[in-house]
Amino acid sequence: MKLLKLVPDNTNIGFLQWRLPFYIVSLLLISGSWALVLTNGLNLGVDFVGGQMIRVTFVGQPEVPVAKMRKEISALGYGDPIIQSYGGSNQAAIRVKLPAGSEQKPDLANTMTSKIVDTLKADHPKIRIDGIDSVSGKVSSELFSKGLMALGFAMVAISIYIWIRFEWQFGVGALFALFHDTSLTLGFFALTQLEFDLNIVAAILTIIGYSLNDTIVVYDRIRENLKKYRKMPLPELLDLSVNETLARTVMTSLTLLIALIPLLIFGPASLFGLAAAITLGIFIGTYSSIYMAAPILIWMGVKSDSFVPTETREDRQERLAREGGARP
């Protein structure tokens, strides 16, 4: 069977010739994303603003009537609930955000829960309430802060790892690429107002992992080529390295998209934000590994012979003596 090749051998695309325009576009997108986050804000979910979680079992039914249940609860005026399956196919967890101003109304959460339970029992008499949990606003805000801290620490730790494995210029490049990807993802959620919950934090960590993996593959090839082509101008060497890893990058991205797009189109509503974030992350992660992580090495003063060890006088004498001894 003939192997499928999406990228022909000896591909030679001049990616780096467009580095300046793409950098300008990316800087504008990063600025726009943070402007949206600061002005529009994120549509924080129950995990981060507090709310009620009700676990139910539809006794005698094979599946949870998700669409009908969502319509019934939304009609109460508490916003769109998050309904997720747990345990069996007839079990579901319903999460509803607390309305604005709930801090001044201590009984509001209980009233809201009672109305939701009464509504469900009216249309589904055999429903069983397995548990009711409250997520307080204070705990949720702490969770949000810790989630952001986890993202920040993950990015810094990854950059230190790359610094140790390669050189500090590569660590700075990887950190900027990760900042680019995270900023654009947050901007996307601020623009679309899709719910931002713990699933999205997990998606951003996945994006960081994917983007980092792509960046390391490109950096590895750059390091190998720096040893092989010490007189090649750096832009040409970076282009060569990106082209040599292009087939692997395209194939990895395509296989991930094949798995994600059906989930995005046909998956449950509760997973739409997760699937959308990771799908977006695949595109921006691939883009940033080529147009953010690689060109920044030029502007940071890296040259083809930057990492060639300097030969001391003693090393040179030792080398000459060794070469002289090796002659017949």
Q: Are strands 82-85 and 91-97 parallel, antiparallel or unpaired?
A: antiparallel
Q: What angle do CA 202, 72, 268 make, to 5 degrees?
A: 30
* Separation CA 265–CA 279 (nearest Å): 12
CA 306 to chain centre: 32
Does residue 29 have a pLDDT over 90? yes
pLDDT (0 to 100) of residue 141? 65
Confidence of residue 13 (pLDDT cuts 50, 70, 90): confident
SS3 91: strand
Convert the pLDDT of each residue in 161-176 to its tens digit: 877 877 888 888 888 8
* Separation CA 17–CA 232 (nearest Å): 16
Confidence of residue 38 (pLDDT cuts 50, 70, 90): very high
Average pLDDT over residues 108-136: 82
* Separation CA 73–CA 71 (nearest Å): 6
Does residue 126 have a pLDDT over 90? no
Tokens 């702490």: give the residue.
142
pLDDT (0 to 100) of residue 36? 93
pLDDT (0 to 100) of residue 32? 95
Average pLDDT over residues 251-260: 86
Confidence of residue 328 (pLDDT cuts 50, 70, 90): very low
User: What is the sign, positive or negative, of the torsion defined by CA atoms of 92, 97, 280, 171?
Assistant: negative
Convert the pLDDT of each residue in 57-105 to its tens digit: 888 888 888 888 888 888 888 777 878 776 678 888 888 877 766 666 6
pTM of the model: 0.74
Convert the pLDDT of each residue in 273-289 to its tens digit: 888 999 999 999 888 88
SS3 130: strand
Average pLDDT, the chain: 81
pLDDT (0 to 100) of residue 28? 95
Convert the pLDDT of each residue in 188-206 to its tens digit: 999 988 888 878 888 888 8
